[in-house]
Chain A
Amino acid sequence: MALDKLLVIAAALFCCGLYTILTRRNAVAVLMGVELVLNAANINFVAFSHYVSHLIGGQIFAVFVIVLAAAEAAVALAIFLRLFSTTGTVEVDAADQLRG
């Protein structure tokens, strides 16, 4: 019954995360946006696992997502620190060496 609501919540979370990624200059803020997106996905998984699926594969998936998010956050922050030490700033605009 509340599946649709949950899905709507997840969608709202996803869109906020997307908005954060698109708009924020600070790389750490972008990372926060990414975490929001991942959380939205997690909610979707768990909601479906609870209301639709007879198995709890959704939850396991969500566990793995959390694990990966952690690893990814660690590496990303290591990268940000490296970026900070080389360029002196964590702004996303500073990493445009791939500019064509």
Chain B
Amino acid sequence: MKGPADLIFYVLAAMTVGSAILVATLRNIIYSAVALLFTFGGVAGLYVLLSADFLAATQLLVYVGGILVLIMFAVFLSNRISSVKLSNPVHFRLPAAGICLVLFGTLAYTAVSPAFALKARVTYQPTTAEIGELLMTRYLLPFEVASVLLLAALIGAALLSRPDRPDVARPDMEEPK
């Protein structure tokens, strides 16, 4: 689709990729986290352009509102913000960059080669109802399993984060006195 849609698309793409590059290269963690914020935002915009409105909303809510905030907390709690040196060894940056570039080249090459059977007509529809319906019917099991997973993650994270105190250091299997 030509017109403003393409322009918006390119702007979003540039924001996303540019932020991603910043995440990779910026020394300061906070700056990286902020760049990550913009990356997530750009991705959400791309979702909109791809007719995935529910997903865009979820992306912003969960990723930006949840995960990014969590990352921020972790950064603050790890207490080495200003003095973090992040001395990436020089000899390692080059090989890593090399691999990544080669990989990008390969993937890009694969991407531009006409191998996919595209749909004839691309339609734009709201997806929320359909996703909800599918989650309850066809994808019920993954849905339930995901909830169990979330429960496990919850418990696990809570357990891992408990501070070490003498009276809670004893094994969990023992009967409380």
Contacts and interface: CB of A to CB of B under 8 A. Distances in A.
Interface of A: 1-9, 11-20, 22-26, 28-29, 31-33, 35-36, 39, 42-43, 46-54, 56-57, 59-60, 62-64, 66-75, 77-82, 84-85, 89-90
Interface in B1-32: 1, 9, 13, 16-17, 20-21, 23-24, 29, 32
Interface in B54-72: 54-55, 58-59, 62-63, 66-67, 70-71
A8 B112 contact: yes
Secondary structure at the B interface, as helix, strand, loop or mixed, is helix
Interface of B: 1, 9, 13, 16-17, 20-21, 23-24, 29, 32-33, 36, 39-40, 43, 46-47, 50-52, 54-55, 58-59, 62-63, 66-67, 70-71, 73-75, 77-80, 84-88, 92-93, 96-97, 99-101, 103-104, 107-108, 110-112, 116-119, 122, 127, 130-131, 134-135, 139, 142, 146, 149-150, 152-154, 156-161, 163-164
User: Which 3 A-B pairs have CB atoms at the shortest separation, nearest pair first?
Assistant: A7-B111, A71-B153, A11-B107
B39 A11 contact: no
A32 B101 contact: no
B40 A39 contact: yes
Main secondary structure, interface of A, reads helix
16 contacts: A5-B13, A8-B111, A15-B103, A19-B97, A22-B96, A36-B23, A43-B46, A46-B50, A50-B50, A59-B55, A63-B131, A71-B150, A73-B70, A74-B153, A77-B74, A84-B78
